[in-house]
Every structure is written in C-alpha cells, then in structure tokens.
Structure 1
C-alpha cells in the first residue's frame, strides 16, 4: 500500500496533473494545493486527509495503489506506540 506522495513520485506525476485527473473523476475542482497537503508527511502541520469522496476517487484513480487505509497509518502507529508505553 502506497501513500499518495509515494504514488506520485513513483509515477513521476506532478500534483497539478493529479489534481486535474481527480477534478474530472469527481466532477468538481480539486486544487493542486489540496494534492500538496495530502502528500505532506503525516506529522507535518499542513498534512490533511481528503474528504471521503476524494479518498475513494484517489483509490480509483491510482488503480487501488493508494488504499483508503493509507490515510490512517499514522493514527494506527501512534496508538500502537501509546499502548506499548502503557504496558512497559
């Protein structure tokens, strides 16, 4: 499972092109700035998670390479770390 940033890098796809593709798929504007925010590191202040419809559109546009669960990896990781600290 890839993050959106990994997918764009692997496919040499600029955020502006991906935003245009999503705009067509969703039939509404998607800005390059949104794609930029979605590709920031998950602990970055500007990171954001797309709307549920955009998450599904991203999964479809990437042929399943960027799964919905990829947007929540950071939360699962933080919960595992917190649980380990309590146990120790």
Structure 2
C-alpha cells in the first residue's frame, strides 16, 4: 500500500505501472488521469466494492420550490443527455 499527497501523483503512479490499483471513485481517477495529460482509455475500472448516495445540502431557509426546480432540471439534463456530455468532458 502506498499513500500519495494528491490525485496527480496517484494518476502518474498508476499509469506508469508503479502501482497496480487505485482505490477511489472512478470519476476521480479518470479526471486525474486526463488532467495529467495521460490517456484515460488505458484505465480499467474494476467492479465497485460499494456505493453511496450524495445529497445537496442547504440551510433551513432554502426555498423548497427552488429545490424542486433543481431536481427537475437535473432529471431533464439526464434525460436529454446533457448531464452525460458534461461528465464525459471531464472524464473522457
């Protein structure tokens, strides 16, 4: 096991063959590899060992109508492909 000070170092170690695996979020590794100017298509993403749900938090005064609009906008982005296009711009 080896720890690194940042994702850039981990990406270089992985793509350089100095480590065999990197336990992290798949989006994090792909973004780090791409940010370092390395080829993300060389990365093999293994089977997830777990999953979690993330939440958007706000204060108690946050307008529930705005929250509903945000959720609707996010669903629309997933439906029309724009969400995937944004994610792909960072990961592929």
Question: TM-score under structure 2 normalisation?
Answer: 0.23
The structure with the largest alpha-carbon Rg is 2
Question: TM-score under structure 1 normalisation?
Answer: 0.23
